[in-house]
Amino acid sequence: MRSVFRLSLRNLASNRLRFALTAFSVLLGVSFVVASFVLTDGLLKTFDNIVEDANADIDAQVRAKSDFEEVAFEDRPIDQSLVEVVSAVDGVGEVSPGTESGKIVPVKANGDPVETAGAPILSFNWTGSSLSPLTLVVGEAPDGAGEFAIDESSADREDLVVGETYDIIGTEGREPFELVGLTRFGDENALAGAVLMSFTLDELQRIDGTEGLLQWINVSAAPDVEDAVLIERLEEALPEDIEAVKGDVIIEEDQDEFSTVVNIFGNILLAFALVAVFVSTFIISNTFNILLGQRVRQLALLRALGASAGQVRFSAVLEALIIGVVASVLGLGGGVLLAVGLRELMNVLGFSLPSIDIILSTRTIIVAALVGIGVTLGASLSPARRAASVPPVAAMRAGFRFGSGEGTRRTIIAIVLAVLGIAGMGYGLFGGSDDTALLLLALGLGAVLVFVAVSMFAPLFSSPSASFLGSPLEHVPRSKITGHMARENAARNNKRTASTAAGLMIGLALIAMASVVASSLKESFRAELGSTLVADYLITPATDGGQFSNQLAAEVAALPEFSEVSAVRYGAARIDGDEKGVVGTDFTVLTDLLDVDVLDGDPVASADPGFVLLTQEAADDNGVEVGDPLMVEFAATGSQILTVGAIYDNPFLIAHYLVDLSGWDANFDAQNDNVIAAKAASGVELADADAALTSLEDAFPQLEFDTRDEFREALEGELDSLLVIINVFLGLAIIIALLGITNTMALSVLERTQEIGLMRAIGMTRRQTRSLIRFEAAVVSLFGALLGVLVGLAFGWIAVIAIPESLIDRIAIPVGTLVFYVVLATIAGLIAASFPARRASRLNVLDAIAHM
Amino acid sequence: MTEVTQNQAESHEPTGPSAATMAASAVGLTKVYGEGNTQVVALDHVDIGFEAGKLTAIMGPSGSGKSTLLHCMAGLDNVSEGEVHVGETKISTLSDKELTLLRRERMGFIFQAFNLVPTLTAEENILLPLLLGGREPDSEWKDRVVDTLALRDRLAHRPDELSGGQQQRVAVARALVTRPDIIFADEPTGNLDSISGQEVLGFLRRAVDDWHQTVVMVTHDPGAAGYADVVVFLRDGRQVGRLEEPTADLVLDRIRALEV
């Protein structure tokens, strides 16, 4: 076996470049997988540490009892008078009352409000206590009215200078504050793009509109007092709806919150990584097959010299194993680098992530090895089996060719895989299981099987397709013959063309699917907006989830240019044990602003705290009709029996449950608005209405004042940005696919060395030689891209059917975009072939002709 | 023309070839491979001319430099020293592109094996040099070539559907179709059975006789050399003999004489 091992090494060495390219495609896939783990582990660890450091000295926290999810970063408030109750408890050391607001926005010197890339802008009361994670690094702590501090990264990013005065927009409007100091959160101020401001407690409560209210009271235990004892005593002293929890609990809750977010992020990265790995599997398999074909003579000679079929097979598998090990090891390193790179990229994009510890967990290493070695070994099995089937006589006889695969058997397997794949996808999309992970797994595996099946079918039509797609090349001016030969070459080896194109097919299919879903979503949204949104104007916060003072709605309503105005508030309540989204709005104008399609009952008559409106779907769920009672449990007021005032059909832009603003006032703590919808008075031009809002726009720079069209464009813009991010990540799979094209073309050049030498001898210029290779790659790429778009259209169509009609009710095919992607992929394939094209054109003519 | 000047030939014919009647010529042509101790002199100051309108055979034992000479004359290999002219053109200073165009437009090539592009039909293979240059073939001339080589009913076939002899005839047709200044044939019959070989040689002979083409052919087969007007003998990188109006027997005799 030692000799077999040596043979494998020799062979690897003599095909260095080929194997390097192969290993590189595996390496990229492994790196991506490793990076997603390293980044996730590192971020989790770092956030855990930050949370621990920040809360290390807190022995107990007093807060409102609530088993509701937090809404917009805020807990239910508690009364400030509890500070005295807590301080009076025996065994209490330091007491640090705290509140937090996400509704306060600083304005930069240039008059623009500070905006983030999605991270919150949070304000805290400055305590100076060791119980706070904030420390002062520059200047003074805020110590009176009109003073604030901000974290050092945000000051740096937004050019805020200590000693200068800036406007601060609170819920009551804007007023000037002096920036007196800069703070740091934890050791690094790694806030993932969030902005932290500090005020005195009184000032914060005032501008937040929460005078007399706190969100928590942090407590440290006096010396010699056990935490458990402290909690017990606190609980005794506190009213029923207030709880005292251990510091550990706070840490755990915060860590859970972070890890949920980080894990989602990590899983998304991992999903893209697996796509990349999948594509690289195709490339490796293809490379092995081509190399095998080129080594028939060598293999046959070995067999003739007495090597057993088993030894030949073993040597082929061994080569794969060596490549897999090398790629896995390098991929681990590459993954760490990629993780660091991704973190840097995120920082550049404005998510200041903490510097992460590089944690190479055992799991990461095992997965890297499994992926790298598994994928290469798996890809080598079939070529190895075929290698062992080379008869010794092939050494003596020219022209031995591997059969083009057992046609019928192959087709049957492909059909079985396709059926299984479609079944898997169908279950994933329509299965209706409550286990999301299971559904996603079925969906993913189904898609994988479909891709494999398509790639197995592809050789059946790859040659005629390539020939057809390449036919325009025959009209390339001055280079008809080069185009003709490129076309013939692309159609020459159906299997090779099919498997080379498969990588691009997968990448393009996913991109096309995303595009179809996105454009269907846009079209549906546009149509829905056109038919449902009656309001001319929408006022929304620039930062997602932002809230603003309920005064603004009154001010807009006071303008004569507007007839109907309603605030919209987003919250949650529990209905029949499940937490549901509840929206507060003004029932008297609801149907004037939004055509919700009332099926039964009268919203206007239900403008009273005792009513709830719900969609037909929600009514069916609860088995209620207009006039029936419905038990709704609010966080602030507990269970309330409301009457169903009306049933409507369309939950677009709102939720399945609606309460009147008066009902909101009665049952929710916070009385801030999320959205204002307004309709211009009849006879008022939109431009005049726009002008009337100018002064309010100045006063509330943190809000977007959008006409219906602007609102639609803004949302579509967000969707487009999301699509860009998805495509960037899928881009890695495309890059791997392109590497595959480079690899295949390099191998083809090698295989056709003599042919190229001959053509060069009889008068083909270097330039024509390059074109020949590039054109061929372009045809193969075009084939892969088109096949991908077809599969992607099918996937997109299935996805659109599976997505609830309330989101997508029609399919829209972004023809222009898809054509653009196909053209782009074709050009990319052309470029990917540059290196082999160059090699081909530089071949020494005589050596090439003499090449065997 | 029929003078057999054996003595003259053996004295290396020092007079430089006159460009006027020469389709291609070389002066002081030297080709050295490698450096230092491993240096091999493949051609050692060869002065040679290939007369226009003649079929010249180059013979010599393995390693004599006969193929190297052909390659250097055809611009497929660069020379270490000396000058090579094709017609009036000095080729040793041409760029790759100029050389390529020269090969395409003014030379024809027939190799021993792998003469044809497997993805192209016989007709496309024949026309390839013209097509590469984006030129329209002279269809009358093409028809004559095709008919002479009896390839009419084979034009639509791919190389793997042709016999070895047919493939080589396609190569001959391709070399002729551009009516080049000179055709280089490297062991054109090396891979053929004797009947096919004789066919191919007969066509080369006719190309010279009927169409006044110039052919330079490397061969190790005295029978093949017997078709030539002139045979040039090479040994150890030098020209060691020249035979006009050869027959296979004369060539054999000469080879025996040279190897003694």
* Helices and strands in chain B, H and E counts: 9, 10
Q: Is A8 helix (H, G, I), strand (E, B) or coil?
A: helix
Is residue A108 located within the same domain as residue A203?
A: yes
- Least CB–CB distance from B117: residue in A480, A485, A849: A485
Give B52-75+94-259's CATH code, choosing from 3.40.190.10, 3.20.20.80, 3.60.150.10, 3.40.50.300. Answer: 3.40.50.300
Is residue A714 located within the same domain as residue A832?
A: yes
A401: contact with B, CB 8 A cutoff: no
Is residue A82 located within the same domain as residue A130?
A: yes
Distance of residue A394 Cα from the nearest chain B Cα, in angstroms: 19
* CB-CB neighbors (< 8 A) of B119 in chain A: 485, 488-489, 492
Is residue A89 located within the same domain as residue A220?
A: yes
Is residue A681 located within the same domain as residue A817?
A: no
Asked if A678 contacts A562 with a C-beta cutoff of 8 angstroms, the reply is yes
| pLDDT band with cut points at 50, 70 and 90 for residue A846 | confident
Asked whether the beta carbons of residue B111 and residue A849 sit closer than 8 angstroms, the reply is yes
Most confident of A39-43, A584-588, A651-655, B20-24: A584-588
User: Which of the residues in chain B have pLDDT under 50?
Assistant: 1-20, 260
| pLDDT band with cut points at 50, 70 and 90 for residue A350 | low
Asked whether the beta carbons of residue B118 and residue A755 sit closer than 8 angstroms, the reply is yes
Is residue A693 located within the same domain as residue A739?
A: no
A370: contact with B, CB 8 A cutoff: no
Distance of residue B223 Cα from the nearest chain A Cα, in angstroms: 25
Of the candidates A474, A85, A636, the one whose C-alpha atom is nearest the C-alpha of residue B131 is: A474
Domain boundary among A676, A699, A722: A699
| Amino acid letter, residue A697 | E
Distance of residue A392 Cα from the nearest chain B Cα, in angstroms: 24
CA-atom Rg of chain B in angstroms: 18
| pLDDT band with cut points at 50, 70 and 90 for residue A73 | very low
- Least CB–CB distance from A845: residue in B76, B117, B134: B76
Of the candidates B7, B9, B11, B79, the one whose C-alpha atom is nearest the C-alpha of residue B41 is: B79
Q: What is the mean pLDDT of the segment spanning A478-505? A: 86
Report the pLDDT value the prediction gives residue B109, as an integer from 0 to 100: 92
| pLDDT band with cut points at 50, 70 and 90 for residue A544 | low
| pLDDT band with cut points at 50, 70 and 90 for residue A349 | low
Report the pLDDT value the prediction gives residue B14, as an integer from 0 to 100: 39
Query: With 80 as the cut, is the pLDDT of residue A90 above it?
Result: yes
Asked whether the beta carbons of residue B103 and residue A762 sit closer than 8 angstroms, the reply is yes
ipTM of the complex: 0.86
* CB-CB neighbors (< 8 A) of A760 in chain B: 100
* CB-CB neighbors (< 8 A) of A481 in chain B: 124, 128, 131-132
Is residue A159 located within the same domain as residue A246?
A: yes
A839: contact with B, CB 8 A cutoff: no
**Which residues of A, range 726-785, sit inside 8 Å of B by Cβ?**
754-755, 758-768
Looking at A395-472, list the stretches that DSSP marks H as alpha helix, in order from N- to C-terminal side: 407-430, 436-470
Quote the CA–CA distance of A786 and A820 in Å, as a whole number: 11
- Within a domain: residue A30? no
Is residue A714 located within the same domain as residue A695?
A: no
Q: What is the DSSP letter of A431?
A: -
Q: What is the mean pLDDT of the segment spanning A534-555? A: 82
Quote the CA–CA distance of A699 and A609 in Å, as a whole number: 31
Is residue A555 located within the same domain as residue A530?
A: no
Q: What is the mean pLDDT of the segment spanning A828-838? A: 92
Asked whether the beta carbons of residue A760 and residue B118 sit closer than 8 angstroms, the reply is no
- Within a domain: residue A386? no
Distance of residue B165 Cα from the nearest chain A Cα, in angstroms: 18
Is residue A634 located within the same domain as residue A741?
A: no
Asked whether the beta carbons of residue B117 and residue A478 sit closer than 8 angstroms, the reply is no
CB contact set of A399 (below 8 Å; sequence gap of 6+): none
Cα A443 to Cα A424, A732, A795, distances in angstroms: 6, 21, 11
Is residue A554 located within the same domain as residue A637?
A: yes
Is residue A525 located within the same domain as residue A562?
A: no
Q: Note the pLDDT tens digit of each residue in B153-167.
A: 999 999 989 998 899
Q: Note the pLDDT tens digit of each residue in A384-410.
A: 888 888 777 776 665 566 655 557 788
- Within a domain: residue A265? no
Report the pLDDT value the prediction gives residue A721, as an integer from 0 to 100: 84
Query: With 80 as the cut, is the pLDDT of residue A3 above it?
Result: no
Report the pLDDT value the prediction gives residue A403, as an integer from 0 to 100: 57
Distance of residue A504 Cα from the nearest chain B Cα, in angstroms: 25
CB-based burial, A299-330: b 16+ in 10 Å, e otherwise: bbbbbeeebeeebbbbbbbbbbbbbbebbbbb
Name the residue of chain A whose CA is nearest to B77's CA.
Answer: A846
- Least CB–CB distance from A761: residue in B96, B103, B120: B103
Of the candidates A68, A104, A51, the one whose C-alpha atom is nearest the C-alpha of residue A668 is: A68
Q: What is the mean pLDDT of the segment spanning A720-746? A: 85
Q: Which two tokens stand for residue A739?
A: 């590497």
Asked whether the beta carbons of residue A763 and residue B101 sit closer than 8 angstroms, the reply is yes
- Within a domain: residue A852? yes
Kindly report the three-state secondary structure assignment for every residue of A372-406: HHHHHHHHHHHHHHHHHCCCHHHHCCCCCCCCCCC
Report the pLDDT value the prediction gives residue A304, as an integer from 0 to 100: 79
Asked whether the beta carbons of residue B117 and residue A846 sit closer than 8 angstroms, the reply is no
* Helix, strand, coil tally for chain A in percent (to 5): 60, 15, 25
Q: Residue holding tokens 């000179």?
A: B182
A476: contact with B, CB 8 A cutoff: no
- Within a domain: residue A411? no
Number of domains in chain A: 3
Quote the CA–CA distance of B37 and A149 in Å, as a whole number: 81
Q: What is the mean pLDDT of the segment spanning A287-292? A: 80
Report the pLDDT value the prediction gives residue A406, as an integer from 0 to 100: 55
Locate the domains of chain B by residue range. Answer: 52-75+94-259
Instruction: Please state which of the ranges A157-171, A285-299, A655-669, A705-719 shows the lowest mean pLDDT.
Output: A285-299
Query: With 80 as the cut, is the pLDDT of residue A232 above it?
Result: yes
Q: How far is CA B240 from the centre of its chain?
A: 19
Quote the CA–CA distance of B243 and A500 in Å, as a whole number: 57
Instruction: Report the side by side order of strands in the sheet with A242-246.
Output: A92-98, A216-221, A60-64, A242-246
Domain that holds residue A828: 443-534+709-852
Asked whether the beta carbons of residue B132 and residue A762 sit closer than 8 angstroms, the reply is yes
Q: Note the pLDDT tens digit of each residue in A20-34.
A: 877 888 888 889 889
- Within a domain: residue A404? no
CB contact set of B33 (below 8 Å; sequence gap of 6+): B39, B40, B42
| Amino acid letter, residue A230 | L
Query: With 90 as the cut, is the pLDDT of residue A702 above it?
Result: no
Domain boundary among A254, A285, A316: A254
Quote the CA–CA distance of A96 and A125 in Å, as a whole number: 10
Of the candidates A62, A159, A147, the one whose C-alpha atom is nearest the C-alpha of residue A110 is: A159
Report the pLDDT value the prediction gives residue A345, as an integer from 0 to 100: 79
Name the residue of chain A whose CA is nearest to B75's CA.
Answer: A761
Asked whether the beta carbons of residue B101 and residue A478 sit closer than 8 angstroms, the reply is no
Q: Note the pLDDT tens digit of each residue in A506-517.
A: 999 999 999 999
Domain boundary among A671, A699, A727: A699
- pLDDT averaged over every residue in chain A: 85
Report the pLDDT value the prediction gives residue B19, as an integer from 0 to 100: 44
* CB-CB neighbors (< 8 A) of A766 in chain B: 96-97, 100
Name the residue of chain A whose CA is nearest to B70's CA.
Answer: A846
Cα A727 to Cα A445, A518, A731, B155, distances in angstroms: 21, 12, 6, 50
